[in-house]
Amino acid sequence: MTKLLLSIHVLASILVVGPIAVAASLFPRYARKAAEEDGGSAGAVALLHRICSAYAIVGVAVPVFGIATGKQLGVLTDAWLITSMVLTTIAAAILALAILPGQERVIEASAAGEVTDIGRSAARLAGLTGVFNLLWAVVVVLMIVRPGSTTGA
């Protein structure tokens, strides 16, 4: 059972968090292009936002299967796992409370023809996405290294 839970957790991490990381990273560049052009990149911007939004909902599976795996392994109280859960919560909050609403504001501003703030908003989104991606990178390292682990990893 542990191997199944771990496999689902790792697959969900790759197949869900990966697309969010890529789509959110591309969004600012295409948002700037959409503001500069006559709407040529607007479709790409909308698609990238839909990817981030849809995969964020499915992304709940990552911590659910991670916690189930941790419980099965008896490591829920290990510092590396608690740290990973805290960082995952912060990353999820950044996505839900800052990145997705920021993307929506950019799309609305672009649709309304208010291109003056899009550059600044895109820069802010790029920074937030960088923090989001960095948090996930740290979580991945913690999952692999597992400080204090007796497995020798």
Element (H, E) at 81: helix 79-94
* Nearest one of 123, 16, 15, 5 to 64, comparing CA atoms: 5
Q: What's the full length of the chain, in residues?
A: 153
Tens of pLDDT along the chain (153 residues)?
889 999 999 999 999 999 999 999 999 999 988 887 766 678 899 999 999 999 999 999 999 999 999 999 999 999 999 999 999 999 999 999 999 999 999 999 888 777 778 889 999 999 999 999 999 999 999 998 887 665 555
* Nearest one of 41, 22, 19, 23 to 32, comparing CA atoms: 41
The pair of structure tokens assigned to 76 is 């829920």
The pair of structure tokens assigned to 29 is 């560049």
pLDDT for 39? 60
pLDDT for 41? 78
Q: CA 96, CA 111: separation in Å to the nearest integer?
A: 22
pLDDT for 7? 93
Q: CA 31, CA 37: separation in Å to the nearest integer?
A: 10
Phi, psi torsion values for 85, nearest 5 degrees: -65, -40
Give this prediction's pTM: 0.90
Residue that is written with structure tokens 């191997």 in the block: 3
| DSSP annotation string for 15-62 | IIIHHHHHHHHHHHHHHHHHHHTTSTTHHHHHHHHHHHHHHHHHTTHH
pLDDT for 40? 65
